[in-house]
């Protein structure tokens, strides 16, 4: 198999597991806060004007009191778009590691755009639940 085919198969497998994870986590869990997972978003790691790596992240959004997973699932493409656009504009790069994104910066950006996407109070918090780098190496040498 060619390298491009292997990458495509890996992406499809990741998307399949992401859909399963998203549907499994949206159900209310014993009276706790409802969550929505946004899985398989590929964020570029850009340093020195070049793409050095991609990190596929799963974001867990904790929904506000009046938001339902069904309502927020319809907004998921807008959150994905905002996340990818922001990552290309101002990459979420750690200075010493190209295999992870800056999780606090990703969460802060999502919380800034959430009111304009889904309404005020619809998202209580955001967290990066999982990070999977395309390349496992990439600690930047000084």
Q: What is the pLDDT of residues 2-55, one digit of tens each?
A: 666 666 656 655 555 555 444 445 544 445 789 999 998 999 998 888 888 999
pLDDT at 62: 95
Strand 93-94, strand 97-101: pairing:
antiparallel
- Average model confidence (pLDDT) for the chain? 82
Rounded average pLDDT over 62-84: 93
**% helix, strand, coil for the chain, step of 5:** 40, 30, 25
The pair of structure tokens assigned to 69 is 């997973």
Question: Mind listing the pLDDT tens digit for each residue in 86-134?
Answer: 999 988 998 888 899 999 999 999 999 999 999 999 999 999 999 999 8
pLDDT at 85: 94
DSSP string, 90-136: S--EETTEEEEE-HHHHHHHHHHHHHHHH-TTSEEEEEEEEEEESSS
Q: What is the 3-state secondary structure (H, E, C) of 30-49?
A: CCCCCEEEEEEEEEEEEECC
pLDDT at 95: 82
| Separation CA 56–CA 131 (nearest Å) | 6
In the chain, the percentage of residues whose pLDDT exceeds 70 is 73
CA-nearest of 44, 45, 23 to 35 is: 23
């Amino acid at each position: 198999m060619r390298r491009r085919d292997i990458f495509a198969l890996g992406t499809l497998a990741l998307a399949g597991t992401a859909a399963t994870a998203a549907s499994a986590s949206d159900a209310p869990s014993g009276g706790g806060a409802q969550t929505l997972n946004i899985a398989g978003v590929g964020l570029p790691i850009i340093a020195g004007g070049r793409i050095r790596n991609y990190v596929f992240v799963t974001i867990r959004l904790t929904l506000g009191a009046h938001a339902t997973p069904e309502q927020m699932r319809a907004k998921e493409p807008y959150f994905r778009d905002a996340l990818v656009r922001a990552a290309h504009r101002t990459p979420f790069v750690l200075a010493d590691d190209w295999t992870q994104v800056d999780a606090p910066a990703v969460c802060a950006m999502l919380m800034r755009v959430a009111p304009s996407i889904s309404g005020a109070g619809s998202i209580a918090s955001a967290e990066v639940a999982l990070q999977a780098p395309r390349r496992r190496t990439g600690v930047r040498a000084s």
